[in-house]
Structure 1
Amino acid sequence: MNLLEAVRLVAARELKVKLRDKTFLFSTLFFLLFAAGSTILPALIAGGSSTVAVAQSSPYEGRLRDAGLKVRIAEDPERLVRDGDADAAVVDKGAQPEVLAMKSAPNDVVRALSSAPEVRLLNPDAVNEVAAFLVPAMFALVFFFTSLTFGIQIAQSVIEEKQTRMVEILVAAVPVRALLIGKVAAGGILALAQVALIALVSVAGAQFTDDAGSLLPLLAPAMSWFVPFFVLGFVVLAALWAAVGALVNRLEDLGNAGMPVQLAVMLPFFLVIFLNDNPVAMRVLSYVPLSAPTAMPVRLFNGDAAGWEPFVALALLALAATGALLAGARIYEGSLLRTNGRTSWAAAWRDRELRSV
């Protein structure tokens, strides 16, 4: 059996196990519900358009309908408001309209009747301030939680195989390196599928908002670049998590052994969140392997990156992913069959070197 066939066999096994895992299925469902709720609920809570009562031949009927409000013609518009059949009524009061409501002013009716001054935008392509804050947070959160969640699951899977001695059977059937690559490949497929589902649900839910038409075209280039950056960044972290899992024999030791990898994930996450308005810092972060998956798409969204920059950053990330796989495989091979307590990184590296001589 060659390496590719072994990797495919291991990845298929990991996928079958994960797709039957209720914890994974419930977590995916939770994230989908959260994505749908965060986009759809605000629009639902805001409610629909107000129903406005006006008299026959009211001069304000056209303006109210053009604003998307529901208009009802009545002989006594005020009566409809008092009876709860209309949210507001618009009546003539001299040269100005008067809005009648029960407890609070209906803002959508007031806006429809107000005369807005002409506005000339000096920077029409500027990104909305709210979007400029939420988009970096979105990319950072998706990469942070997905890579951390699936990375820890990969490490736990390795530890469980060591505890049950299953790893000895697997090593006898396939090369050790194939185990590592297969686990990383399966985790990457599941993580990317989960992110894609969340993105689809979020985009569908965004159609309920008023800003969807202007925001989605700006997000499209950044989201398309986010996919390859996410995949390569995930490979870096997944290879390291698999190596961490091979270093220990108990799930209780995973927290201490995996602390360096957790810090490697958390530090870029907070840097992108807090420094996203600093062009110099973001330019540097977009070339650092563990922060590039979030920093570069953010710069593309803001229009701060030149056309050649994502290609260079992606090439550097690909080199880092290759290096992480090679280093992770060496640590993995040097510690996977050790069952006499926790193995240090240096000992695993030396053990692999001695066994290769």
Structure 2
Amino acid sequence: MSNAWMVVATREIVVRALNKGFLIGLAVTVAMIGGLIGFTSFMEGRTQSFEVAVVAGDESAVTALESAAADAASDDRQIELSMLPVDDASAAEAALDDETADAWLSSGAASGTDSWTLSGWREPDPDLTQLIGTTVRDQVLADRAADAGTSMNALTAGSEVETERLDGNPVDPQVVLVAGFVLAFLFFTGAVGSGAMIAGSVIEEKQSRLVEIIATAVPLRQLLAGKIIGSSVIALGQNLLLAGVGLIGVSFTDLSAILPAMTATMLWFVVFFTVGFVAMAALYAVAGSLASRTEDLQYTTSPLMMLLMGVYVVTFSADGTFERVLSYIPPASIVSMPVRVLNGDALWWEPLVSLLILVVATLGAVLLSERAYRGALMQTGGRVSWKTAMAAERGTTLGA
């Protein structure tokens, strides 16, 4: 059968697509991504309201609070301030105690000192503290400038510091860090989940002796090719779905401005993952063939699990020269190179060179795995080592 691999691939796709565990897990992951993006968008768009107590007669505090409220409205800080007049300090403390007020602003004039105090029953909100602190500082400086016969504009002229990023990349480093984590997570879950399904499928057929019947009609090389292609289609489809959900969600957040850069990064990741997963699928198929029982899979797949876990941990936290090196070393390049593209750190030709290296490494892994797979698949009675599998396949070839 010249197209036997297509039959095997179709079967793998159908079985996986109809697997309830896979579908439930995929639905849960999509819901988690959507929920996380929705929560982030809600928090970014949420307006915080604060009730600030001011003691009667503390005109400096009243002025500062009114200025802070105006600044918050003009700067679109999503903070609303309202004033709660109280009779004295005891009333202000009582308002904080019963949570009628979120904070109490007291000026230096009211306390007979040069210091200002923003009190809270607990630690005052950081955003509120920053807003009022900036307003009070500007107000004090303006008063002292007036006393000196000058103005705030004259005192602060030329003191503004503008920021400039010379590489021209608009993506914030924190966004790059989060993107690195997301890509590493997609790679890890896609490779481990689909890889485990391949290994499980192989050992199931081997343990039930079904593979001996299949081998009479389907060459082992085509059987392996069908399993790799079928599982790769499922893994690619899963990551395309998750990436699509993520990008659509990002379009509704403040990060929508960098959506073109993130889309390009995701496309590079899909290309790298598609190539790299073929090698992972082949190696997982060998891991399944090396086992004789389902219980053996934990032993035969553990080296792959350690490799993937290492890639997951290292890639999303890598930086600088280390990240550049990783972007050329498979399988870490599957994550590191797309992250570098997002960061604006990669020249136009670097992803192409890295992808070529990954293609060569994948071809090598597939050829090596194919030999081990053919040598181990028909062996039963215990776990088979790579050395034994390679020797058995070599002997079969020579005998033929």
Shared fold per TM-score greater than 0.5: yes
Aligned equivalents of 2:232, 2:347: Cα separation in 1? 28
Q: How does 1:1-357 map to 2 (within 5 A)?
A: 1-2=1-2, 5-45=3-43, 48-49=46-47, 64=73, 67=76, 120-123=162-165, 125=168, 127-213=171-257, 215-274=258-317, 276-279=318-321, 281-357=322-398
Contiguous gaps of at least 5 residues in structure 2:
51-68, 85-121, 139-158
Closer, same or farther: CA 66–134 of 1 in aligned 2, 3 Å:
closer
Give the CA deviation at 1:49.
4.6
Aligned equivalents of 1:119, 1:174: Cα separation in 2? 71
- Aligned residue for 2:215, secondary structure, equals helix
Aligned equivalents of 2:307, 2:25: Cα separation in 1? 24
Closer, same or farther: CA 70–148 of 1 in aligned 2, 3 Å:
closer
Closer, same or farther: CA 261–107 of 1 in aligned 2, 3 Å:
closer
Aligned equivalents of 2:220, 2:262: Cα separation in 1? 41
Q: Which residue of 1 aligns with 2:53?
A: none
For structure 1, which segment, 129-138 or 144-153, has the greater mean C-alpha deviation from structure 2 after superposition?
Answer: 129-138
- For 1:122, give the aligned amino acid: E
Contact 2:239 2:270 in 1 (8 A): no
Structure 1, residues 263-307: CA drift from partner, whole Å, max 9, x if none?
A: 222222222133x2222x112111111111011111111111111
Aligned equivalents of 2:276, 2:49: Cα separation in 1? 51
- For 2:32, give the aligned amino acid: F
- Aligned residue for 1:306, secondary structure, equals coil
Contiguous gaps of at least 5 residues in structure 1:
53-59, 72-76, 79-102
Aligned equivalents of 1:118, 1:208: Cα separation in 2? 33
Give the CA deviation at 1:249.
1.4
Contact 1:50 1:106 in 2 (8 A): no
- Aligned residue for 1:122, secondary structure, equals coil
Q: Which has the larger radius of gyration?
A: 2
Aligned equivalents of 1:50, 1:201: Cα separation in 2? 29
- Aligned residue for 1:258, secondary structure, equals helix
- For 1:331, give the aligned amino acid: A
Aligned equivalents of 2:341, 2:78: Cα separation in 1? 38
Give the CA deviation at 1:310.
1.0
- For 2:240, give the aligned amino acid: A
Contact 2:276 2:362 in 1 (8 A): yes
Structure 1, residues 197-217: CA drift from partner, whole Å, max 9, x if none?
A: 11111122223322222x322
- For 1:328, give the aligned amino acid: S
Aligned equivalents of 1:210, 1:227: Cα separation in 2? 24
Give the CA deviation at 1:168.
1.6
The structure 1 segments of at least 4 consecutive aligned residues displaced by more than 3 Å after TM superposition are 45-52, 63-71, 103-108, 124-127
Aligned equivalents of 1:267, 1:105: Cα separation in 2? 39
- For 2:375, give the aligned amino acid: G
Give the CA deviation at 1:47.
5.6
Give the CA deviation at 1:239.
0.5
- Aligned residue for 1:173, secondary structure, equals coil
Aligned equivalents of 1:138, 1:317: Cα separation in 2? 21
Give the CA deviation at 1:247.
0.6
Contact 2:290 2:385 in 1 (8 A): yes
Contact 1:332 1:348 in 2 (8 A): yes
Aligned equivalents of 2:173, 2:223: Cα separation in 1? 46
- Aligned residue for 2:316, secondary structure, equals helix
Give the CA deviation at 1:152.
1.2
For structure 1, which segment, 288-297 or 120-129, has the greater mean C-alpha deviation from structure 2 after superposition?
Answer: 120-129
Aligned equivalents of 2:266, 2:294: Cα separation in 1? 35
Closer, same or farther: CA 106–288 of 1 in aligned 2, 3 Å:
closer
Give the CA deviation at 1:37.
1.2
Closer, same or farther: CA 239–142 of 1 in aligned 2, 3 Å:
same
Number of residues of Structure 1 aligned to a counterpart in Structure 2: 330
Aligned equivalents of 1:51, 1:256: Cα separation in 2? 57
